[in-house]
Amino acid sequence: MNRFAIKAGLGACVLGASVLIPAQVSAEPAATATGTELSGMTVFLDPGHQGSSEGHDLAQQVNDGRGNTKDCQTSGMTSLGGVPEHTINWNVTQLVKSSLESLGAKVVLSRQDDTGWGGCIDERARAASESNADLAVSIHADSTAQGEDAGKHGFHMIIPSLPIPDEKADAAQSGGGLEASKMMRDAYKSDGFVPANYAGVNDGLQTRADVAGPALTQVPLVFVEMGNGSNKEDSAQLESSDGQLKHAITITTGIVTYLLTGSETAPAQELAAAPAATTAPEASEDSASSTTTTTPKATTPKSTNPKSTAPDSAQLSELMEMLAPLLEVQGLDGLQDLVNDKNLGLVSDLASTLMAVITGAGGN
């Protein structure tokens, strides 16, 4: 499989994943996607929490991966606007799933709906490991207070404290997991998201030993906290269809960047410099399916963001047609109304990025 230099605009494949791929490393013009770019690759997606815990004991103690136990699961946060975290996570995951499948990837989910039970954290980690995924991504949103917390905001990736007792989990998280987490962090920063300013987060990375998922997962894992649901601005973005779309674009960018350019390098010094959080918000963990055999990935240079140019009306119309399949994604209420007078600017910006990739604008 050919490796491609990833542009930040790749995230726009959430809007037209079956249409475009980034320019190749050799500086060739951007190519039309065949739908097989991720063929043979598996991604495990874990939309945090669950729709219902009826019949299950959230306080049941399970293995935390470090010789102790912790609660089986938590209910997750509720945003300031009253949207439960499990639904936000589910909506974003469905968009990411659609995009990855459009490029030929196999996607395995930790839970199959947003109404029932999602599984204990150890079950989800085991499912991820048994899926033998090239990458697992656990998608969450954070909270720091019951009500509004105006001073704390931003995204972060949870990184496990190393080493991890389980040798396979340690190899996966100190290698590919750490690298993929940094790539996801970079994708978030490139797309204009601000790193969290609380709980010991250092440039978008938070080192923790109390989150069981990464310590139990034997394939590379990225644990995303998209934003703080206790913050008014973060919450509004997490609740809205266009905000969820923006998060999905960024998460897709991070995943595909790792799958196509990841090298599974050893841990970098950056983590050593990142302070472990002494006080951390409630961890939001979830469930899934899989086992480990990670394939080394070829090292290729990472690219910079393309400089987009605004498309003309004909090009925009063509791009709007590309949106149709994803606008019909079931289970994401209101997405079909994404393109309207209020948010046309957002879609236009995304279309401009797509056009920049089509024309190869901005170089590699």
Dihedral, CA of residue 342, residue 248, residue 350 and residue 188, to nearest 10: 110
CA distance 264 to 267: 9
- Residue 298 CB neighbours (<10 A): 12
Alpha-carbon distance of 118 to 72, in angstroms, equals 11
Show Cβ contacts of residue 110 under 8 Å, excluding neighbours closer than 6 positions: 44, 45, 46, 47, 118, 119, 124, 127, 128, 286, 287, 288, 289
Burial class (CB in 10 A: 0-12, 13-18, 19+), 160: buried
What phi and psi, each to the nearest 5 degrees, are found at residue 157?
-105, 130
Contact indicator for 197, 153 with CB cutoff of 8 Å: yes
List C-alpha distances in Å: 148 to 97, 132, 152, 362.
31, 40, 10, 41
The active-site residue out of 37, 225, 239, 285 is 225
54 is catalytic: no
For the residues of 19-59, what is the DSSP string, one character each? TB-PPBTT-PPP-B--S-TTTT-EEEEEE-S-S--TT--TT
Q: How many CB atoms lie within 10 A of CB 105?
A: 24
Residue length, the chain?
364
Q: Between the CA of residue 75 and those of 29, 118, 328, what are the distances in Å?
A: 47, 10, 29
Of 130, 140, 123, 129, nearest to 177 by C-alpha is 129
Q: Is 155 helix (H, G, I), strand (E, B) or coil?
A: strand
**Phi (first) and psi of residue 288, to 5 degrees:** -165, -140
Enumerate the active-site residues: 225
